[in-house]
Structure 1
Amino acid sequence: MLKKWAILLTALFILAVPVGCSSGGQEPAGGQPNQPAATSAGTDQTDQSKTETPAKDVELMVSAAASLTDALQELKSGFESEHPGVTLTYVFGSSGKLGQQIENGAPVDVFLSASGKDMDKLQEKNLIKQDTRVDFAKNQLVLVANQSSSLQLDSFERITPDKVQHFAIGEPESVPAGRYTKEVLEHLKLWDSLQSKLVFANDVRQVLTYVESGNADLGAVYASDAAIAKQVKVLATADPSWHKPIVYPGAVVASAAHPAEAKAFLDYLQGDKGKETLEKYGLTR
């Protein structure tokens, strides 16, 4: 039986070889030889090039201090009209938390901080392009109360714990405005005596919310924030010598997906339109 199977398999192999060899030499009807395989591949490449999708528009991710919200929103359309194909996407929050997000790998192109300290942390870790770093604005720290408040204060120095139930400030560890407020209160020897009165907020906009809603008697925010709040009034401005300079640095993030567009945005922020808009919202140069 095994011999019969061996003979049968040998016969089939002999028959298969000439068939396989002769197939390459066959000519189609009309006597023309088959086109080489390379022609078919070329046709496929041509078809692929016709169906390639165009490059996507650039989405520029900007992480910015909450106190810049209104100014940056106004600058958005102007920048986009001058840079077709670029769309600005903002993420607003406290500078400290935004910096932490960048450290953790958040996809950010530009970082705009309300504090040099938070930018320094990223620079020390080579997480920003140092040659793009620029101070583009300055601010002031002010004391605010609800419009209906009867508190009569014309200076941070006149704050007394017995006349205040709740004093809203930014969390000093993550909110630059809170850090500056702490420096002022420590300078005036008021920090310890006000501890039981302090209400900590995630950013300056939340401080405004506390004061506007009546949940806090006083609040410490930037002059730029107070300028756009309709339900609060400014009682006093902190002496600049009581705290570190309130400077806003900006930089292109080292891992930016669109470094050229990010640099263009920083340049726009420093241009005439950027300066005009920042000043409109209480930020100086």
Structure 2
Amino acid sequence: MKKTSWSFVLCILMVLSLVGCGAGNAAQPPANTAQTKPTEITVSAAASLQNSLDEVKKAYEQKNSNIKLTINYGASGTLQQQIEQGAPVDLFISAGKAQVDALEQKNLTDKSSRIDLLGNDLVLITGKDNTKVTTLDDLTKSTVGHISIGTPKSVPAGQYAQEALTNLKLWDALQPKLVMAKDVTSVLNYVETGNADAGFVYKSDAQSSTKVKVVEAVPANSYKPVVYPAAIIAATKNKQAAEDFLKYLQGADAQKVFEKYGFKSLAK
């Protein structure tokens, strides 16, 4: 092939190559148009917080589209054990101080982040149509067969119930009737379904159900004040996001939601 022919072919190949490169470059979106993935925060929270915290979660995510909240509900003692075993949690909200104390002693929480977020009251409940139980003393009657409380070793509400019944000189007499539950939500369910004649839950739990009634509030001087502490987990990879959410929980908007569901505001 003549030299001029080779030159012509090379020119054509160069043009095609440039066009191809241009088309390839055009297919790449500008770097600044890539969508930012939301920051995910995992919260482990006491089962009694579910209704109120679900509402708070919805409001927070609407205001912060770059945040995705995942909330794991359960008995505070069980959640504590999960964190001790390395569960990927950013923030812990317990229904009792003992669980956060235990994590703090093992340096598993950021001690400086800890706050007392909410308070609550312990109440005695029965089914809506129950006429057997009108006072705490009625629990000792032979007509009352089953009384549900949260398992004291892992459920703060159960610990408060045990403390109160002990101080009211009722614990020993009632032990044969006790039905232990994995969390306070289960206690509520047992009473709602008639599997227990009565149960001890928080005021906020009783308020959330249309199938039970409050017989009476457990005397406040018979058990330690109910406190829900919250703390950021030391191993969190989203510390700033967790701090921002914890701050929001202490604010007026979130506190109004909690109060609506029967909690007491302790946030300063």
In structure 1, what residue type is equivalent to 2:57? K
1:1-285 counterparts in 2 under 5 A?
55-154=36-135, 156-285=136-265
Give the C-alpha shift of residue 73 in structure 1: 0.6
CA RMSD in angstroms comes to: 2.2
Distance 1:202 1:265 in 2: 28
Q: Is the 8 A contact 1:109 1:262 kept in 2?
A: yes
Distance 2:217 2:32 in 1: 62
Give the C-alpha shift of residue 52 in structure 1: 11
Change (3 A) 1:105 1:191: same
Give the C-alpha shift of residue 56 in structure 1: 2.6
- Residue by residue over 1:170-193, the C-alpha shift from the partner in whole angstroms, topping out at 9 and shown as x without a partner, is 000000000000001111111111
- Residue by residue over 1:56-87, the C-alpha shift from the partner in whole angstroms, topping out at 9 and shown as x without a partner, is 32111000000000010111121112222101
Distance 2:141 2:241 in 1: 50
Secondary structure, aligned partner of 2:158: helix
Distance 1:151 1:252 in 2: 45
Return the TM-score normalized by structure 2. Answer: 0.85
Count of aligned pairs between the two proteins: 242
Match of 2:21 in 1: none
In structure 2, what residue type is equivalent to 1:110? L
Structure 2: stretches of 5+ with no match in the other structure: 1-9, 12-27
- Residue by residue over 1:181-232, the C-alpha shift from the partner in whole angstroms, topping out at 9 and shown as x without a partner, is 0001111111111111000000011001100110100000000000011100
Q: Spell out structure 1 runs of 4+ moving beyond 4 A.
A: 49-55
Return the TM-score normalized by structure 1. Answer: 0.80
Q: Which has the larger radius of gyration?
A: 1
- Residue by residue over 1:79-118, the C-alpha shift from the partner in whole angstroms, topping out at 9 and shown as x without a partner, is 1122221011110000000011000000000100000111
